[in-house]
Structure 1
Amino acid sequence: MQHEQACHRLLDSPVIAAVKDDAGLDAALQSECGAIFLLYGSAAGVCAQVEKVRRAGKLAIVHIDLIDGLSGREAAVDALEVLCHPDGIISTKPVVVRRARHRGLLTVQRAFLLDSLSLENLPAQLGVGKPDFIEVLPGIIPRVIARITACTETPVIAGGLIKYKDEVMAAMGAGAAAVSSSSPAVWAM
């Protein structure tokens, strides 16, 4: 799939299923979500997971940092792309995001906003990786989401701890382009 087309498809379905196990993957495949964030797996099994997602007509976006057997290095991006053909990757590492972007994959820079320092360092990280999307965690802080969306043109995905409709609406109201959640109740919204 073309990079630009994948980015548009992600935005067409503002609720993203984030899965942490096989049961979650099976449920997400049956959901209306157009994209699935794969947050688990191993180097030996990730290709089968990607294939299941793609056969279901959904975007397969792999959190490369969470796949057992893959290092947080650029070579891992190359191997994943050649062997599994995911639509995109998620990483907390700007150099990994940059490599995936150069390989033509949809890219999501995941940022854990633990304190004001992590928020201040975010622009520098984004400058290195130049991701298509920023996923901010936790996604239940509308004030911070609004601040980030005011400072960047990169679409923001709110993720982490989102379980209720009012949290989805607050994140979207603060400027998030989408939300990711591991809660099947959110997927059905």
Structure 2
Amino acid sequence: MEQKFYDLIEANPVIAAVKDMEGLDACCAREEIKVVFILFGDICNIGSIVRQIKAKKKAAMVHIDLITGLSGREVAVDFIKSNTETDGIISTKPALIKRARELSLHTTLRIFILDSMAFENIERQMAAARPDLIEILPGLMPKVIRRVCKLVKIPVIAGGLISDKEDVMAALSAGAISVTTTNHKVWRM
């Protein structure tokens, strides 16, 4: 991962995750937000959503799995690279992460840790995808965050259900370099 991008993530421990136009407008109005995870859109508007974020000099990461009209195939990454100014993608699919890396996009592999089997699959997914960052959900599990940070050799982001300063501090204390949240109140911390 490019050091400049890593430094940006590390320097901004709260990443705005936007799931609608209202959230997009709110995060674009906040100067202190430097990185935005885009969790909505479709093939017709994703380019303009990314442009709005880039116009505010923020890094834009598109959660490609959530863009309506795109398939779960590698060509979807090619579409995002060719039709947007995104800095990178987020995905639960290792093949899409691998393709994004080939296209020199920053990558975040999102993993839902729901049970011990999901935890055991992390190493396999990491080997297949080789992402720049890993985002684990839900982010309210400091003990699990600590285990993942020891297991993987890349930066970890915690996301999902982060609702207050205590949640942010617990995730950061456990080893996450930042958290993602759609909660506007947390963005203001």
Length-normalised TM-score, structure 1: 0.97
**Offset at 1:79?**
1.0
- Between the two proteins, the alignment pairs up a number of residues equal to 188
Structure 2 counterpart of 1:9 = 8
5 Å matches for 1:1-189?
Answer: 3-31=2-30, 32-189=32-189
* CA–CA distance in structure 2, aligned partners of residues 106 and 116 of structure 1: 28
Q: C-alpha offsets along residues 13-42 of structure 1, whole Å, 9 cap, x if unaligned?
A: 111000100000001112221100000000
Task: Provide structure 2 residue ranges, at least 5 long, that are not aligned to the other structure.
Answer: none
In percent, how many aligned pairs have the same letter?
Answer: 46
* CA–CA distance in structure 2, aligned partners of residues 74 and 10 of structure 1: 25
Q: C-alpha offsets along residues 107-137 of structure 1, whole Å, 9 cap, x if unaligned?
A: 0000001101000001100111100100000
* CA–CA distance in structure 1, aligned partners of residues 51 and 85 of structure 2: 9
* CA–CA distance in structure 1, aligned partners of residues 5 and 87 of structure 2: 7
**Offset at 1:7?**
3.0
Secondary structure at the residue paired with 2:8?
helix
Task: Provide structure 1 residue ranges, at least 5 long, that are not aligned to the other structure.
Answer: none
Q: Is the 8 A contact 2:9 2:177 kept in 1?
A: no
Length-normalised TM-score, structure 2: 0.97
**Offset at 1:8?**
2.5
Q: Is the 8 A contact 2:37 2:61 kept in 1?
A: yes
Secondary structure at the residue paired with 1:43?
coil
* CA–CA distance in structure 2, aligned partners of residues 100 and 92 of structure 1: 13
* CA–CA distance in structure 1, aligned partners of residues 151 and 33 of structure 2: 28
Q: C-alpha offsets along residues 139-177 of structure 1, whole Å, 9 cap, x if unaligned?
A: 000000000001111100000000010000000000001
Using the TM superposition, name which of 23-32 and 43-52 deviates more: 23-32
Q: 1:4 to 1:104 in 2, by over 3 A?
A: farther
Q: Which runs of 4+ in 1 moved over 6 A?
A: none
**Offset at 1:4?**
4.0
* CA–CA distance in structure 2, aligned partners of residues 147 and 89 of structure 1: 25
Letter in 1 for 2:168: V
Secondary structure at the residue paired with 2:121?
helix
Secondary structure at the residue paired with 1:186?
helix
Secondary structure at the residue paired with 1:157?
strand
**Offset at 1:6?**
2.5
The alignment's C-alpha RMSD in Å is 1.1
* CA–CA distance in structure 2, aligned partners of residues 4 and 102 of structure 1: 18
Letter in 2 for 1:25: L
